[in-house]
Amino acid sequence: MEAAWIRELAAILDQTGLTEIEIEKPDFRVRVVRSAAGPAIAHAAGPAPAAAPAAARPADAKAAAEPASAGAPPAGAINSPMVGTIYLSPSPGAEPFVKVGDKIAQGQTLMIVEAMKTMNPIAAPK
């Protein structure tokens, strides 16, 4: 195994933005890993419950009509019950399960979440 070949693999990582590449042949195995530039991200089971906000009275009707804060999820948002890779269609090149503007029926499959090599369909709750 030549050091120049390994340097070439490292250059491929830099050019493509990948963080890891592994090549295995019958007589050798090479794995080149680039450390992430940013901090490591830990997977959390879910957000911590927030304290209930104090009851507030709107100053006028205009204030009451303002949309929710930018950090709040949009109305009708559906959260995945698990962390994983999202697939919006049943197979590559196939039509997506839903499109923007579609009417959703209860129990309709919205997406598939792959978690731990298991495909989990996520259905509309209502």
For the CA atoms of the chain, what is the radius of gyration? 23
Domains along the chain with CATH numbers = 3-33 (no CATH), 80-126 (2.40.50.100)
* 68-86 residue pLDDT tens: 556 777 777 777 788 889 8
Contacts of 1 (CB under 8 A, 6+ apart): 28, 30
- Candidates 40, 4, 35; CA nearest to 18 is 35
Residue 62 is inside which H or E element, if any?
A: helix 61-65
Q: What is the pLDDT of residue 95?
A: 92
**What is the per-residue pLDDT for 45?**
54
Structure tokens at 7: 């340097």
Counting every residue written for the chain, the total comes to 126
Least confident window among 24-33, 91-100, 105-114: 24-33
What is the reported pLDDT for 9? 76
Q: 2 vs 98, which has greater pLDDT? A: 98
